[in-house]
Chain A
Amino acid sequence: MAQLRELALPSADEEIWRYSRIDALDPTAFELEAADTAVSGGENYVTRGASAAVLAEPDVFAELNTEHQSTLVVEVPRGTTVDEPIVITHTSRPGTASFPRTVLRVGENAEVTVIERFASASAGPALVAPVLSAEVAPAGRLTYLAVNDVDLEAWQIGHQLVVGDRDSSVRLSTVTLGGYYTRVRTEVRSSGQGASTKQVALYFAGGDQMHDFRVIQDHDAPHTSSDLLFKGAVQDRARSVYTGLITIREHARGTAAYQTNRNLTLSDGAWAESVPNLDIRTNDVKCSHASTVGPIDDDQRFYLESRGVPPETAERLVVLGFFEEVLDQLPSGQLADELRAAVADKLNLQGGAS
Chain B
Amino acid sequence: MSELVISGLHATVAGREILRGVDLTIRSGEVHAVMGPNGAGKSTLSAVVMGRSGYEVTAGSVTLDGEDVLAMPTWQRAVAGLHLVMQYPTEVPGVALRDVMVEALAARGHASDNVRGQLVAEAAKIGFEERFLDRPLNVDLSGGEKKRNETLQLAMLRPRIAILDELDSGLDIDALRDCSRRVEELSNDPDEPLGVLAITHYNRLLTELKPDKVHILVKGRIVASGGPELATTLETDGYAAFTDGDEPAESGAGASGLDDLFRM
Contact = CB atoms under 8 A, between A and B. Distances in A.
Interface of A: 297-300, 302-311, 313-314, 317-318, 320-325, 328, 353-354
B100 A309 contact: yes
A129 B99 CA distance: 40
A308 B93 contact: no
Nearest to A313: B103
B94 A310 contact: no
A317 B95 contact: yes
Contacts of B91: 300
B94 A324 contact: yes
Interface stretch (B20-28, B36-44, B46-54, B205-213): B46-54
Contacts of B108: 308
Contact of B99 (A297, A317, A354): A317
Interface in B79-114: 79, 83-84, 86, 89-95, 99-101, 103-104, 107-108
Interface residues of B, number: 32
B215 to A, nearest CB: 23
Contacts of B75: 305-311, 314, 354
A303 B104 CA distance: 12
A134 B170 CA distance: 51
Nearest 5 Cβ contacts at the A-B interface: A354-B73, A321-B94, A324-B94, A308-B78, A321-B95
Nearest to B107: A308
B115 interface: no
A324 B136 contact: yes
B224 interface: no
A303 B86 contact: yes
Contacts of B93: 321-322, 324-325
A254 to B, nearest CB: 30
Interface string B155-193: 001000000000000000000000000000000000000
22 contacts: A300-B91, A302-B53, A303-B86, A304-B92, A304-B103, A306-B74, A306-B83, A307-B101, A308-B108, A309-B75, A309-B103, A309-B107, A310-B103, A314-B75, A314-B103, A317-B95, A317-B103, A318-B92, A318-B95, A321-B95, A325-B93, A328-B94
